[in-house]
Structure 1
Amino acid sequence: MGSASRRRCAAGVGLAAAGVLAGCSSPGDGGGGDPAAETYTVWDPYAQYGAGSEWGKLLERCGAGAGVAVARTGLETTDLTNRTMLAAQQGQAPDVLVVDNPMVSTLAAAGILTTTEQIGVATTGIEPNLLAAGQLGGRTYGVPIGANTLALYYNKAVLDQAGVDPGAVRDWASLTAALEKVRASGKRGITFSAAGTEEGSFQFLPWFWGAGARLTKLDSQRGVAAAALWTAWVRRGYAPGSVLSNTQTASWREFATGGFGFGENGTWQLADARRLGFEYGTIPIPAQAGGIAPGPIGGEFVTVPVQGDTARYAVSRQLVTCLTGPGHADVTDATLSYVSASAAGQARQAAAQPELRVWVDAVRAAKSRTGGSLGTNYPKISEPMWGAVQASLSRAKSPRAAMTEAQAAAAAAIR
């Protein structure tokens, strides 16, 4: 999810390997080495990164290490999924596919992806909660590059002026009290994204799960409590009405104005955060009764689509292992702003940059959107959920009525 929030380029050039594809990189992007070497195709959702980026250089190194040339193309996330489906039908799927984790179950259910067991990719050392985002029916269909999730950024000057100690924000009650103080001081309390898209669901989930609610029962008292929390904030002026249309990027821009105490956003904003004109900090999103609320796991998995020539899997395995292996801090930490998928990598990151401890803890607490056997049913639940949040915040329906209607819609869609 996080990667979808970053900037994308609008134009591209064709990739000869698939004939019909157009992305933001040429066949040589990310590739190199012996021009006579056999070519392996890699598709990814990083359209903003060219051959000279750290990601492009990593692809080149991995290809060289495997003794092959890499023909890479970067596509928008939705475009990538659609074109992968089409290419698979035509027997032209890429050798390696980097895809947003909620799409793994969709592609796996369609029979497009191999399992890690089939091609011999090791998953030892990967945190179980992160690996779960790439699983369906007890099988694993890829390896995460890393992960991102959500936390609360805060403006230190705004909180100081309001007399708020961010360290004292530990549950919903203390956060709401903090927002009230910020509002009373003349500033805005919090901004977030409640857009009528997956971004809205992505940002709502920490509060929904933090209340103890389950996606299979949207209209439980706990689920209604989460919708009521956001609704109360908007009605009291603690959050602006713009949250209804905010993307995560738009929400970040609001926070960056310096007029808000808090902003819900992800690790992908860290580079921009360091360029803010004010001192900032981060705290975990609190659960209703205290502790860290489980946020949704964001980030991509490196997968291997099914090939007619199974002999290609040996090199594909080498590419997957290289792309997800240790020692790529330049890509995981800086370029993608990801928390490592392994406990060892997370410890390294927190030791090197103590400010990342909040993000490491948040990722450790995070949950897969498609986990718990939801798989391809998740989108059928997510859409009614974000619709319910929109209806509640806009006062079109009460939180309970909105979530009750959402549950009925989700149940009908899954049936």
Structure 2
Amino acid sequence: MSNRFTPGVAVPLTVVSALIGGVVLSGCGQQRDPDVYTVLNSSTDESYHRWDAQTLARCGKQLGVTIEQQSVPASQVMTKALRMASSKSLPDVLQLDASEMPTFAEAGGLIPLKDLGLSTRDIPEGIVNFGSYEGTYYGAARTVNTLALFYNKDTLDKAGLKVPTTWAEMRETAKELTHGKRYGLALSAGGAEDGVFQFTPFMWSNGGDETKLDSPEVAGALDYWKSLLKDGSLSKSTVNWTQADVNDQFMAGNAAMMINGPWQVETLNSKKGLNWGIAQIPVPEAGDDSVGPLGGGVLTVPNTGDGEREKMSAKIIGCMAGEQEQITYAINSWMVPANEKAAAVWRTKAPELAALADQVATARSRTAKLGARWSSVSLALQSAFQSALTGEPSETALKRAQKRATSGN
């Protein structure tokens, strides 16, 4: 199952600006069929591709146009879009990971959606921010996701243990559930955005912040991960695992609990006899907010210089992100609708995921504070926890990370 949020390699802003600037200055490149529109996304999974095709067919019929879908792996969307910009063949609608959108917006490559008539009514502030750069709304989310604690109900019941809600409880529970080939907990601490995505709920719930990586709060979160490793509750392979690897371990019975996201649910449900539950990620102290990262894609209108096509592109987004389409897509994909009214309907249809909706309510965007600078902070953090989890003191690793993030190298 492909990962539903992971951005690809960070592309330097200067490269993005040069490519996009050329397109905007020279106007629209090739002649296009006035009744055919393209959407570029990362729906390479058969099921996601099919769901999107069905959405586009319904929206095309409603708007009287043909909408074609082009899908490339999530890690290639940005580079593919830049290649298309250089050949003046940008798609009409571009679905970007929300953490990549600021880079495109900063380079002048996107049209503000409100200028094209799209509103943010009934969308929670956190999700509006998720699709915004420097206060301007560029990206409409259909659904959002975040991380949660998945647990094997049978394993916990057999051990007579409750689902943990605090860090101390999770450490104790994970220790008790570690037995033989089975670890108490699995998470991704790999040197990629997967690992950073998984670290943010620990960093943020502990009061840490991406603008100051060398704070005691960030070090405390990293030390907590180190304590789980020291207890033997986490596999040493944690530093190499992606979120897909974590899910494989959980499904194989090699982990009693895992930190993961709803994009794994379809795969989890394919395993007969796996009795799993979902809860909010435990917090440092009882009563703290569990603050996770918002994940997912946002639908944007690239700046092609063709005003009429851009207006129709916005109508396509308006249809794709309409309440009914959000509910349909969310139920198919186990995500949470971005629109509050749609989310209320969804809760009644997917009650087993209520904990996820609660987690989304306190979640925030990775790029809300840093915009396009998030990518350099992410790279610095990846390096820091790889070093810390293999023996370096957290403070030392994070001091280096902060220097690296500030210098942008």
- TM-score, length-scaled by structure 2: 0.88
TM-superposed CA distance for 1:199, in Å, is 0.6
User: How far apart, CA to CA, are the structure 1 residues paired with 2:180 and 2:246?
Assistant: 21
Q: Which deviates more, 196-205 or 270-279?
A: 270-279
Tell me if structure 1 keeps the 8 A contact 2:44–2:72: yes
User: How far apart, CA to CA, are the structure 1 residues paired with 2:123 and 2:3?
Assistant: 20
The question of 1:297 aligning with 2:294 is answered yes
Give matches, 1:157-176, under 5 Å: 157-166=154-163, 169-176=164-171
**Match for residue 115 of structure 2?**
118
TM-superposed CA distance for 1:4, in Å, is 4.9
TM-superposed CA distance for 1:37, in Å, is 6.8
Highest relative contact order (Cα 8 Å, sep 6+), 1 or 2?
Answer: 2
RMSD: 2.1
| 1:255 paired residue among 250, 255, 271 | 250
**Identity between Structure 1 and Structure 2 (%):** 29
TM-superposed CA distance for 1:122, in Å, is 1.5
TM-superposed CA distance for 1:216, in Å, is 0.7
Give matches, 1:7-406, under 5 Å: 38-49=35-46, 53-166=50-163, 169-183=164-178, 187-276=182-271, 277-290=273-286, 291-328=288-325, 331-372=328-369, 374-395=370-391, 397-406=392-401
TM-superposed CA distance for 1:185, in Å, is 8.6
Tell me if structure 2 keeps the 8 A contact 1:284–1:292: no
Q: Which deviates more, 233-242 or 174-183?
A: 174-183
**Which stretches of structure 1, 4 residues or more, deviate above 3 A after TM superposition?**
49-52, 184-187
1:281 maps to a residue whose letter is G
Relative distance call for 1:52 and 1:375 in structure 2 (3 A) is closer
TM-superposition CA deviations, 1:19-70 (whole Å, max 9, x none): xxxxxxxxxxxxxxxxx97111111111224898121011111112111111
Relative distance call for 1:344 and 1:240 in structure 2 (3 A) is same
TM-superposition CA deviations, 1:151-177 (whole Å, max 9, x none): 0100112212322111xx221111111
User: How far apart, CA to CA, are the structure 2 residues paired with 1:105 and 1:381?
Assistant: 14
User: How far apart, CA to CA, are the structure 2 residues paired with 1:338 and 1:230?
Assistant: 27
Tell me if structure 1 keeps the 8 A contact 2:327–2:343: no
Q: Which deviates more, 306-315 or 374-383?
A: 306-315
User: How far apart, CA to CA, are the structure 1 residues paired with 2:191 and 2:401?
Assistant: 13
TM-superposed CA distance for 1:275, in Å, is 2.9
TM-superposed CA distance for 1:326, in Å, is 1.0
User: How far apart, CA to CA, are the structure 2 residues paired with 1:132 and 1:252?
Assistant: 29
Q: Which deviates more, 227-236 or 155-164?
A: 155-164
TM-superposition CA deviations, 1:222-273 (whole Å, max 9, x none): 1001110111111210110111111100110001112322111001111122
Q: Which deviates more, 351-360 or 195-204?
A: 351-360
User: How far apart, CA to CA, are the structure 2 residues paired with 1:107 and 1:178?
Assistant: 44
TM-superposed CA distance for 1:200, in Å, is 0.7
User: How far apart, CA to CA, are the structure 2 residues paired with 1:72 and 1:259?
Assistant: 38
1:239 maps to a residue whose letter is L
Relative distance call for 1:243 and 1:315 in structure 2 (3 A) is same
TM-superposed CA distance for 1:336, in Å, is 2.9
Structure 1 unmatched runs, 5+: 7-35
User: How far apart, CA to CA, are the structure 2 residues paired with 1:89 and 1:119?
Assistant: 24
1:393 maps to a residue whose letter is L
Q: Which deviates more, 264-273 or 80-89?
A: 80-89
Q: Which deviates more, 85-94 or 38-47?
A: 85-94
User: How far apart, CA to CA, are the structure 1 residues paired with 2:77 and 2:176?
Assistant: 45
1:147 maps to a residue whose letter is V
1:228 maps to a residue whose letter is D
Tell me if structure 2 keeps the 8 A contact 1:268–1:337: yes
User: How far apart, CA to CA, are the structure 1 residues paired with 2:146 and 2:259?
Assistant: 10
TM-superposition CA deviations, 1:125-159 (whole Å, max 9, x none): 11110121121111110210110110010011221
2:259 maps to a residue whose letter is E
How many residues were matched structurally? 381
The 3-state SS of whatever aligns with 2:178 is helix
Relative distance call for 1:51 and 1:132 in structure 2 (3 A) is closer
Tell me if structure 2 keeps the 8 A contact 1:149–1:362: yes
TM-superposition CA deviations, 1:91-131 (whole Å, max 9, x none): 32111111111111011011110001221111111111012
